[in-house]
Structure formats: C-alpha cells, structure tokens
Structure 1
Amino acid sequence: MPTARPRLSQQLLAECAGTAALLCAVIGSGVMAERLAGGNTAVALLANTLATVWALYVLIETLGPVSGAHFNPLVTLVLWSKQPLAQREPARAATLFIVFQLLGAVLGAWLAHAMFDLPVLQTSAKLRTGSGQWLAEAVATAGLVLVILRAPAGKASALVASYIGAAYWFTASTSFANPAAVLGRMLSDSFAGIAPASAPGFVLAQCAGALAGLWLAGLFETSLESTL
C-alpha cells in the first residue's frame, strides 16, 4: 500500500529544522573545535569537517523521506528545474522551501551560540574573498549538484556527506556550497563565520557553480534513442 505524500507544511518544517540542525552542527562544532584544538587550525578544521559530515548524513537519511532534504536554496532550484513541466511543483512551493531554509539557517546559528553561552546576535568579522575563494565555491557547488543529480537511488546521503567532507579540504573556501549556509555563518563570529562583505561573492560563485553542475549532469544523461 503506497504511503501518503507528506503535506507541504511537513516538508517546510523538515527543511527548516534540517537546515537549522546543519548550521548548528557546522557552527557549534567549529566553536568546540576552536576551544579544544589549542590553536591548531588543522585539528579544528578536521573536527569541524567530521561533525558536519556525520550530521549531514543523519539529516538526509531522516528528513529525506519528508522533504527531499535539500537544506540549500540552489539544490531546491536545481531539482525544481529538473522536474518535467507537466509534473513540476508550483513555483510557490519552491519559494517557500527557500524561505524556510533561510529561516532555519538563522535559527541554527542562534541555537549554536546559545548552547555555547555566546551572544546570540552577532555577525562575523572573518573576511573570505578573492578569486581563489570564489573559484573554490563554484567548484564546490558544481560538484555538489553533480553528485546529487548523479547519485544512485538510496545512496545520496552517503555520497553527499562524503563529497562535502572531501570538499572541506580540497577547496580553498572549505566548501560552503550553499547560500543558506552563507547566511547562517555570516551571523556567527566564530571559526565557521564569514563576514557580510564576503557573502555576495560567495553566493554569486555558488550560483555559477550550480549552473555548471547542472550542465555537467546533463552531459551524462542519455536518451532512449542514444542507447539503441
């Protein structure tokens, strides 16, 4: 017997809660890592990476059946654009997904601060800018979109978490790859933060990367005619 499709309200709650939990994990683990690493940035980044990877895997596994576990406005837009026109969800639904993802990112940052007895309301002073950082964000986002679109059924959670963990280390930007993550981390003057002045460059690079990832995924698609 087929299961009932989750209501839009349930999907929005999943996107908000999932994005909040993801940002809480990213920022909270960064705070903890910085406190315990004794000034060793590599150790702090490794701890931050592991916490993010594990949290992302768990969140995709648990909330994926509800909303698809996008937690990322660009992922929402890419998946929406890939739907056949006759079956495409109304643009309003995609817009609401993005609104609730951004809300979740803010709430996740605030929750992390509250847990570590930090001022809840703050903004980052950590500048992340320059052509290398922007290129890194484009690469990170392109790879993320490609992995999501090419992941075999049932393996997206492991593949996405593994990719993000790797991209933390092979990209100069430590792989934000998510405008919602930029917003949440912009509101945290911590190890994981990004200054508001650096945010527009990151988001623009991520948008370019998402388009590149969508294009690359399209190159691997095969039609029925091409396989005959």
Structure 2
Amino acid sequence: MIEINQVTKHFAGNKRAIDSLDLTIPNGKIVGFLGPNGAGKSTTIKMMTGILPIDEGSITLNGFNIEKQPKEAKKIFGYVPDHPDMFLRLKGIEYLNFIGDIFNVPADIRKERIEALTKQFNIDQALGDYIQTYSHGMRQKIIVTGVLLHDPDIWILDEPLTGLDPKSAYMLKEMMREHADKGNTVFFSSHGLEVVEQLCDIVAIINKGKLLFYGTLDEMRETYQSDQSLEQVFLELTNDE
C-alpha cells in the first residue's frame, strides 16, 4: 500500500506543482494515474520514489516513510522511469547483475529470472551489448526486467508501455494483473486512456497538482451520471481546469 498524505511540492517562483495531494494506492489493485502534460504525475512519482524531496506532507510505502526510512522503503518497490536512458555505458547483463547485487538476489534465482524475462522480452541476445546501442524499446525492456528481477511488492511505473512492441506490452500488462492479483500494489501513469480503461481497477486523475477524481470506472460513471468513456470524462474534467 502507498499512502500519500497532504503532499505539497513547490517549484521556482513558489509555484505549487503538487497541492495538498491525498491518495491511497491499496494492495491487490492496479491504479492508473492520469493527467495532461504538466499535471504533476511525474513529480508525484519522483517524490514517491525518493528522487525529489517532499516540501509538505508524507509518503509511506507498506508503512515505511520514504524520507525517514528510505532504505527500507526502497527495498520494497520497483520503479520504471518515464525515460529509460540510464546506465548507458553498462552492458545489458552488467546492468541486471548490478540490480541483482543491490537487492541481494541469490545467484541461482537471478540467473533463472534473467533468462526467463529477457527471453520473454526478446532481448536475451542483446545482453552482451552496451545499453547505449539499444533502441528506446529495448532500453525500456531492460529497465522493466531489472524491476521484475528482485520481485518487489510495489510496482511504480511511469509510462511503462511507451516504446514497447505489442507482444511485450501485452506481456507486461499480464504481469501487472498477476502481480496485483497476488495482493501486491501496481501504480502506473499513462497517456493511453484505453489501456487504463481496460486494465485498471481504480483511476486517479490529477491536474495542476490537484486530485480531481479517485475511484473505479463505475464510480466515475455514477458520480458524473454518465455512460461516457473514460476518455470523454477525462477530457471534460481537465478541460476547465
């Protein structure tokens, strides 16, 4: 479970990028995080993962405060950033072993998971190549493989399907569903409203740092007394903000 309690983030000029955000992401659910460009999605995720400091409020992951207990909190989540351009000077296998070392994944389990996941994502033949030679989609796959390698309880995914081919995107969506069905937490941001509508149990919509809606799609339709698609409701909610 992820609990975001009255979180505020200021940027230059005292602008509030996030404004008193309250959000709970429960276990056993896939929660989709939606908002137009600049709404505060990536800023929120970077505070959740400890990349950005929190100006006001608190964030806990399975009870661990990300600022007061960063080591404990970071052990239990896997994070896919919105841009997979990192560790470019490492070979694919070096990166995965680096992640395995950080999270103390035993050698036998590590070997088995690397073989299985890289074959599933069709990057097993590229593990000896430097990540800087990878395409965007391959970089996304190696980052996702690193997240799955240590089997964290909480998945925090920022636009995880961007750049993936249809087969890999389908596999990742299936993995997300399986992970949530085991009682774990999956939180992901996306611009793909159809994917969110198809996959998510709960939807959170944010704009200008404020939460506009949080609930199931059925609750959304009931709240707005509408049988419209998620896309139509999303556009109406964010258009006047």
| Superposition TM-score tier, normalisation by shorter sequence | under 0.3
TM-score by length of 1: 0.25
TM-score by length of 2: 0.24
Task: Answer 1 or 2: which has greater helix percent.
Answer: 1
Task: Answer 1 or 2: which has greater strand percent.
Answer: 2
